[in-house]
Homo-oligomer: A and B are copies of this chain.
Amino acid sequence: LSKNTQQLVEHPNLVNTFEDVMAMREAIKVSGRFQTEFLNKQARLDKAIEQPLNVPYPKDAGGGYTHEVHKNNYRLMYDAGILYQITQDPKYANYVKDVLFEYAKLYPTLSLHPEVKSSNPGQLFWQGLNEAVWLVHTIQAYDAVLPHLSESERETIEKGVLEPVALFLSEESPQTFNKVHNHGTWATCAVGMTGYVLDKPEWVEKALYGLDKSGTGGFMRQLDELFSPNGYYNEGPYYQRYALMPFVTFAKAIENNQPERKIFEYRDQVLLKAINTTAQLSYNGLFFPINDAIKDKGIDTIELVHGIAIAYGITGETGLLDIAKQQGRVILTGDGLQVAKALDKGQETDYQFKTQAFGDGASGNEGAFVVLRSDSSKKASVVTFKATSQGLGHGHFDKMGLSFYDNGAEILTDYGAARFLNVVAKFGGRYLPENDSYAQQTVAHNTLVVDETSHFDGITEVGNQHHPKLELFANDKQVKLASASIDTAYQGVGLTRTTALVAVPEENIDWVIDIFAAQSKTQHQYDLPFHYSGHFIEANFDYQAHAESLNALGTKSGYQHLWLTAQAQPSDEQQIRKITWLNDNGRFYSLNAVNSPNLEVLFTRAGANDPNFNLREDKAFILRAKGQTDYQFVSLLEAHGEYNPSKEYTLKSKSSIKSLSYEQQGAVHMVYVERDDNSQFVIAYHNQSGQSQSFVVDGHTYALNQTVKLFKLAKK
């Protein structure tokens, strides 16, 4: 069979093949996850398609009436296409046909959408992005019902709407189609899949290599540039899971139509890595909420359900089933069926979470997003260390920002995005003004703020040009460590942060060690916030609570949104300043900060200058040093004890850290920790790779034969 002839006889052949369909037809006859999903879908769809057809003239912007109706239409067509294939009931095919007939009448009458605002205009929708998503779904529906249609029906639909939309998205929108950007991926996916179905190999070529087929634009170039070598997407996981959808969808269609392209092998399996990385960048089912991220979004997102299914279909890795099981839903595709069957048989094994530095940028050398995990289980405690590049317009000014997760909860927190998705009363459901004025600002993060100004002066374009350098990454059994530096976040101030996760169950050690150094020839104010979740329990120092009235901490760069609730002046009474809080997860957390000269402590809560109550009232402690040139914050966050009000016991509510200090001996950095029981530890590390080092404590010499190591010293 020639390729053309083959396409004429075999449908569907995009994400699903005819073989997939045959298997699905069998699968719905036996009880299990797949049958359940099928019956649910069918019940919902049968109700929906009884409604009168509704293909209105485009009028409203995102969230508005016609926008939502057209979105709903492509979803219903997509489902109807699949149900037609599975059930062979013509009512589903007729539904798709009838809707597409309406679109075939409407589309030729359209010009640019009346609400067009973006550089990516649409006709059915205010944005070309939505138009591409429409076609990605619709072409799959059409492919599914094609065998049911007469030649003339096909002609009507293809000429009336499918070809015009594809041409609009490609030839008529070259700036988007050729762009190495997520919008471009949706467009190339839509046009390329349409090319397969309508037997236009030329469209497929353009989708893969750009309108001029040179490879400077198109899907392959996007694959080259939008993910780093280990599959990290530079806007972070919240947008990564969205970006993933057109990649895996088109790739699956390419694989089914042109397996010789070995698309999933491409670039050392970068697509499979991207799927896996999306799952890796989560804790307790939710994505790490760096940059503009809705914090409720997690691995059960539909995009990752598709991604995991496709990855499982290719690799058969049973760890992926663990993620699929947590997703709690299966999809009606060939891969979805394989997942459902495997889960029905209980074939899942524990997904292995990894301590990993996810290099950022196309070559993976523009900084990194570092994830330190105490072990590979879901239950591990996790440090994230954001030494990434800016992440474009959705990026936050949080170079080398830190988060900590433990016992199922976020402990050192990231605000995420200030947004109530689709809640019209909250700024139309869009990003709130406070997203710019607070959530993106440096002070909203657990990283250093110099002179009450955000990194790069809060200018995205400047941020886009720079990134931190990952200096050190080490994955020892007991200590996971990363170190990074940047000297472009502030003019004339170099920043270096080293963070280590130390977990030794047999020693009751659950520590995050953090050393943040600023270097400058001129004097500055250095603020290091620790945003935390929980209820303040105690501090080991005197503080002045602002009990009778509250005022904002500052006037700009996010400081205007922080109420100053208490503060402690410099005092050399304690060797360490200790603050303890209790998280709802029932554990205590104590921040132990070396009481460096002039160290002040501020207690804050978000919500000032927020007249519409758009912000969550999250709390923070800010370590502050004024008028400093070179300065160093040395901290140890200890997780300890248990509060169990239900069973009425409380264990170890007091931090055990008695003493903490940092010093350097030659190339060796040493953090010295002493506990109340007089046990003593040194975390030693160096970055002279390959060289063995040593250091001396109390006259005793210790050899350091690896990058980082925890030493237990003899008791005093």
Contact = CB atoms under 8 A, between A and B. Distances in A.
Interface of A: 294-298, 300-302, 420-426, 429, 535-538, 545, 547-552, 563, 565-566, 580, 582, 603, 605, 607-613, 616-617, 643, 645-650, 653-654
Given A617-B605, A617-B617, A545 B611 contact: yes
A537 B425 contact: yes
B548 A645 contact: no
Contacts of A423: 537, 582, 643, 650, 653
B551 A549 contact: yes
Contact of A550 (B298, B563, B566, B611): B563
Given A302-B647, A421-B650, A548-B552, 15 more contacts: A294-B645, A296-B646, A297-B645, A420-B537, A421-B643, A421-B648, A423-B537, A425-B580, A425-B654, A535-B613, A535-B616, A536-B613, A547-B610, A566-B613, A617-B617
Contacts of A424: 650, 653-654
A79 to B, nearest CB: 15
A547 B612 CA distance: 9
B297 A650 contact: no
Q: What is the interface of chain A mostly: helix, strand, loop, or mixed?
A: loop
A183 to B, nearest CB: 18
B646 A301 contact: yes
Nearest to A643: B423
A537 B424 CA distance: 10
16 contacts: A297-B645, A300-B646, A302-B647, A420-B650, A421-B643, A421-B648, A422-B643, A423-B653, A424-B653, A425-B538, A425-B580, A425-B653, A425-B654, A535-B613, A545-B612, A549-B552
Nearest to A586: B296
B547 A550 contact: no
A609 B548 contact: yes
A41 to B, nearest CB: 15
Given A421-B650, A535-B616, A617-B617, A608 B548 contact: yes
Contacts of A603: 613
Nearest to A301: B646
A302 B650 CA distance: 16
- Chain B CB count within 10 A is highest, among A423, A537, A565, for A423
Contacts of A647: 302
A604 to B, nearest CB: 12
Nearest to A538: B425
B549 A649 contact: no
A609 B550 CA distance: 11
A236 to B, nearest CB: 16
Across the A-B interface, give the 7 residue pairs with the lowest CB-CB distance, nearest first: A422-B650, A545-B611, A425-B538, A550-B550, A296-B645, A536-B613, A294-B645
Given A423-B537, A429-B650, A650-B429, A545 B610 contact: yes
Nearest to A549: B551
